[in-house]
Amino acid sequence: MKKRALIIVLLIFILTITLIISLNLNKASIEKQKQILASAQIVLKYNDKEKVLTKEDIILYGEDFEAVLDTSNTEPSTHIYRGVQLKDLLNNHSIDLQDKIIIIKAADGYSVAYSSEEVSIDKNVYIAFMEDGKYLGSRDSEGRGPYESIVVSDFFSNRRCKWITEIEVK
């Protein structure tokens, strides 16, 4: 009986140490994500390169578009968004999209992958920063921004990614 109790205590100790170590290892990454989100930047990764896109880089190419917002707790509704087409953003950085996968990553660890074919469709995939004339708001203010990916052809809004911090082209 003593041996069993000792093993349980030892296992709890090992699990606690493992948890503390993993939290400390992720601390730098979490802080970096928070900083990127707070400064309204997006890290663009492609061809073993990394570039930080500022708010000015993204807003510069902004255009209005219409899309349906349909969440699990709201009825579908049409909104006017302002954003940049993902294909234009990538083309402006001379990124070849042919046979690529574009992965959008969020501050909370969520990610969504888009094919080069669907990104290349005109007026289909956007990085939005405004909805109905208002900025999307920060994560801290319970908003969906500063950036959210929107696929216009997705009427159920299940391929969106809010709180974008990174775009990776593979």
3-22 tens-digit pLDDT:
888 888 888 989 888 878 77
Predicted pLDDT at 142:
86
pLDDT above 80: residue 32: no
Q: What Å distances lie between residue 126 and 1, 11, 63, 112, CA to CA?
A: 62, 48, 10, 13
pTM, two decimal places = 0.83
Domain presence at residue 15: no
Predicted pLDDT at 72:
84
Domain presence at residue 48: yes
Domain presence at residue 43: yes
Predicted pLDDT at 61:
85
Domain presence at residue 7: no
Strand partners, 127: 84, 149
Domain presence at residue 155: yes
Token pair in block for residue 161? 């990614």
What CATH number is attached to the domain comprising 152?
A: 3.90.420.10
How far apart (Å, rounded) are the C-alpha atoms in residues 51 and 64? 25
In terms of residue numbers, what domain contains 46? 39-169
CB 13 within 8 A of CB 27: no
Using pLDDT thresholds of 50, 70 and 90, give the confidence band for residue 87: very high
- Domains of the chain: total: 1
Predicted pLDDT at 30:
67
Amino acid present at 95: I
Domain presence at residue 85: yes
Domain presence at residue 75: yes
How far apart (Å, rounded) are the C-alpha atoms in residues 3 and 5? 6
Domain presence at residue 137: yes
Using pLDDT thresholds of 50, 70 and 90, give the confidence band for residue 35: confident
pLDDT above 80: residue 151: yes
